[in-house]
Structure formats: C-alpha cells, structure tokens
Structure 1
Amino acid sequence: MSDVQKVQVGEVQLAYRVWGEPDAPPVVLLHCLGEDGEDWRGVVGRLAGTHRVFALDQRGHGRSDWPGEYGFARWRDDAIGFVTALGLARVTLIGHSLGAVTALLLAADRPELVDMLVLEEAAPPVPADPPQEVPEQPEGPQSFDWRAKTAVVAERNMPDAFEWDALAKISAPTLVIAGGSTSHIPQHHLAGVADRIPDARLVTVEGGGHFVHEERPGEFLTAVTAFLGARS
C-alpha cells in the first residue's frame, strides 16, 4: 500500500494514502464507520490506473486525529478542507455508508469541487426503524474512536433535515450503488436517494450486501468504471 501522509485541516490532522499519476484526474475515497483508507485496498489498483486516487482516514479513524467531536457535518467539513488543502480541482468522490453521506453533503454544499459522485450503500436520511442502539464498547484498543459510533447512531435515529434537503441540491452526475437483498439498508430507501438527486442512476449489485466493494469488487469496479467512462 501507499505510504500514509498527513495534512492539517482546521483543528485536526487527517491521514491519507495516494496512488496514480500526479496529473491524472483526482478521485477521493471516503470509508465507512469503523474503517480507514486501507478499506479500499481491493479496488484501488484498478482505479489508480486512470486516476490519482486519495484514500482518506476520516476524523476519529485510523491514523487521523481522534478529537472526540463527530457528526456528518464535521466529516463533511473535513472532506471539504482536505480537498481544498491539497488543491484538488473537480474531484470524483466515492463514498461508502458514512463516507457516502459525507460525500453527498460535500457535493451539495460545494458543487464546484465535485465532478462526479459515487454513493455506495449510503445511510438514508430517514429515522432508523427500529431505532439503533450503541453497543457496548469492546475491551482493548480499537481502530477507531467509539464516540464516532455514538454520534452516527444518534444521527441515524434522528437525521437532520439538511441531509434530505441536500440530495436535491447535488448537481454532479451521481451513481448510487446498492447491495441488494443481503444489505441491512432498506433498498427502497436507496432508490429514493437516487430519485431525489437530479442526475443520478441506481445500480444494484445483488449479493454485495452493505460492503459491495469488498464482497463484489469486480462488479463494483465494472459499475464505477463504466459510469466514469460514460461521463468523462
């Protein structure tokens, strides 16, 4: 894997890895809750053949700072700061779950920064049913700050209206990837996300579950590369 680098964004240092040619169009990968940039290792090689790929450790995860303060708006602002600090222009954002929410909020808030958008199994901005509970923190060291999980559960149970409103503000061409019947995310919610975004298409990778890029990496990459190729 690529060496880990760090950049200061506001009050936090964010860790990231980078692959691909410096002059290739930029892609920023945003992982799910509890993971870090290493989570993309199964798909990054092919993406780096055509793009400059940046895999970020979001705050509270991996080698980035764990400040104890979390929430989708903070992760969005960190991602905006990351893109601007590195001087990246018109990036393709690929986000999974928590990272997909980060990506869609960024695309809605700062459309000039985003060329294309890929949302894998985005947590829908509707109250979790039944409400989620925070499991007890496991003993021993963790790979991420457990307080981030507490923040995500709170926002999943009572989403802020701005998350739903943000979908209609996204102007970037968008691919929504769903994992089919084995996902814990209600698939009709993902269809609703795609319907709400003005220029979006939905692709279902049956058997992908919530972790499509891990369970079905070939099909995930086929969908993503076809989308990027058609829009370039």
Structure 2
Amino acid sequence: MQLYYKQYGSDGPPLIILHGLLGAHGNWHTLSRNAFSDHATVYAVDQRNHGRSPHADVIDYPHMAADLKAFIEAHGLSDVTVLGHSMGGKTAMEAALRYPDLIDKLIVVDMAPRAYTPNHQALINALRSIDPTDYDSRSDIDDVLAEDVPSWPIRQFLLKNLDYADDSYRWMPNLAAIDANYDALVGSVEADGRYAKPTLFVRGGASNYIANGDWPGIQERFPNATLVTIPEAGHWVHAEAPEALSKAVIRLLDA
C-alpha cells in the first residue's frame, strides 16, 4: 500500500507523523511547516482508509504498522523518528515494537497502548448516515451533521474529510471499513516485546487518555520513555497547545 504523504523541508533526519482516527495529514500542516521542518525532514502521512491514501477492507494496528514499515523502506529512510497522535500513536507503538530496527525515536501524543471505550461510534454513524452527493454545499452538509453532532469544533474537524471533485462531494475516509474494524481500532496494541530506544509520551492535562495508572504499563513496554504533561491541553494537543508540544518534540529531535 502506497500511503499518501506531504513532505515539509529537506534537511535533517526524517520525522514521520501519523494522524488520529478520522483525521489526515493536514491536521499537522501548521506544526510541520512552521516548527518541525527546521529540525527534520517531515513526512505527514495519511494512514490507510483516511485522507488520500488507498482503501482496504482491513484496518488494524498490525496492518498499519506494516504500512509504515513499507513507507520507510520504500523511501529509503534511516534515523527515523515516528510521531503518532491518538490512533496514530497506537500505530507508532505497534510499529516500534514490531520493527525496532527501523525506528530510532518514538513520540506518542495522548495515547496509551491499552484498549479504550468506543467513544467515536456515534460520530462514525453520523457520517455514514449522510450521502454527500445529495448536497450542493458544505454548509448544507454541516446543517445536517449538526443534528447528530452539535459541537461546532468537532463538526469542523469531521468536515475536513469532505472532498469535492467532478461537481460532487464525497467522504474521503473508507467509513464502511472503519466501522467494520472499529473494535480493533479501540483495542490495545497487539505486539509483544519492548522498545528500548528514546521514547516521548506527551499527554494533555485536561485529557484522560493517559491516566497516571497507565504509566507503569507503558514503562514496561517502553523502558526508555519519558512523560510530558501539557496542563492547558486536552486530547487535541497539537491544536490546543502547539507551541508547548513543538518544544517537547524538538527537544527529542535535537537530542
């Protein structure tokens, strides 16, 4: 599977960024362009069934880790740092545990390797209930989506998944596959073993995705891990506290 990506900069070791569920590479555009590209060659990637990457019937962490491995090898990358947020964080952890020789540094943003409750099912259902080809404008789709998703910020995030081509709107993610594989996506990282290379976990202080009780289990699998808490951020750390996040990431990149 040849994943879609956008490259920022061309100097420094590679930094691969993996977005979260129902996200895409563009979620990391501002940080990739304005902060990270001065310290690394950034590859912001669309994971399978998201953004402009290919669709497949199966989406789970072993397959997405294999996609990442194929991406690293296809581009001939070395000294690789992988940064993953949320679902992308689990992909990054899975890949680091399975293919430690390919990944030199690991950054996980607001995600632990454990299973989570299925909190996104209502959003997936809301998107699947709308056929974008029936509407003439984004605002019309927004109005319909608001019936099930009253939060304006969440709707704006979801509407980034709309594409307009050939005089018609469409959802870019493979919503059917995401729905069918959702139990795997909220499940735990599957790979065994330990990843002993430099690892940074960043959590939002207002988020419950990495609880204090998660840390001992994280350290068992990632013994060289450090934890940074950004008090003012929730789960969307890169959107809510970009400067604090970029400082933490750059410290590891430059170490």
| TM-score after normalising by structure 2 | 0.76
Give the structure 2 partner of residue 66 of structure 1.
55
Mapped to 2, the partners of 1:98 and 1:13 lie a distance apart of 19
8 A contact 1:57–1:63 mirrored in 2: yes
Give the structure 2 partner of residue 144 of structure 1.
173
- Partner AA of 2:241 in structure 1: R
Aligned length: 211
Mapped to 2, the partners of 1:189 and 1:119 lie a distance apart of 17
Matched, 1:52 2:46: no
Give the structure 2 partner of residue 134 of structure 1.
121
Mapped to 1, the partners of 2:51 and 2:240 lie a distance apart of 22
Higher alpha-carbon Rg: 2
Structure 2 spans left out of the alignment, 5+ residues: 133-169
Q: Look up the SS of the partner of 1:43 in the other structure.
A: helix
Give the structure 2 partner of residue 9 of structure 1.
none
8 A contact 1:18–1:54 mirrored in 2: yes
Matched, 1:39 2:27: yes
Q: Look up the SS of the partner of 1:42 in the other structure.
A: helix
Give the structure 2 partner of residue 104 of structure 1.
93
Q: CA deviation at 1:194?
A: 3.8
Mapped to 2, the partners of 1:87 and 1:55 lie a distance apart of 16
Q: CA deviation at 1:42?
A: 2.2
Mapped to 1, the partners of 2:204 and 2:76 lie a distance apart of 33
- Structure 1 stretches of at least 4 aligned residues deviating more than 3 Å after TM superposition: 156-160
Cα RMSD after superposing both structures: 2.1
8 A contact 1:42–1:213 mirrored in 2: no
8 A contact 2:17–2:83 mirrored in 1: yes
What's the CA shift string for 1:38-78, capped at 9, x where partnerless?
A: 11012112110121110111110111111222111111110
What's the CA shift string for 1:178-224, capped at 9, x where partnerless?
A: 111x2242522552454221100000111211110111000001111
- Partner AA of 1:150 in structure 2: D
Matched, 1:227 2:221: no
Give the structure 2 partner of residue 154 of structure 1.
183
Higher mean alpha-carbon deviation, 151-160 vs 72-81, is at: 151-160
Question: Could you tell me which of 51, 58, 64 is aligned with 1:75?
Answer: 64
8 A contact 1:124–1:189 mirrored in 2: no
Q: Look up the SS of the partner of 2:30 in the other structure.
A: coil
Mapped to 1, the partners of 2:186 and 2:36 lie a distance apart of 34
Give the structure 2 partner of residue 171 of structure 1.
196
Percent identity among equivalent residues? 30
8 A contact 2:56–2:177 mirrored in 1: no
Mapped to 2, the partners of 1:147 and 1:193 lie a distance apart of 33
Give the structure 2 partner of residue 185 of structure 1.
209
Higher-RCO chain (CA-CA 8 Å, sequence separation at least 6): 2
Q: Look up the SS of the partner of 2:238 in the other structure.
A: helix
Mapped to 1, the partners of 2:208 and 2:179 lie a distance apart of 19
Q: CA deviation at 1:122?
A: 1.6
8 A contact 2:82–2:107 mirrored in 1: yes
Q: CA deviation at 1:19?
A: 1.4
Mapped to 2, the partners of 1:174 and 1:37 lie a distance apart of 22
8 A contact 1:176–1:190 mirrored in 2: no
Structure 1 spans left out of the alignment, 5+ residues: 1-11
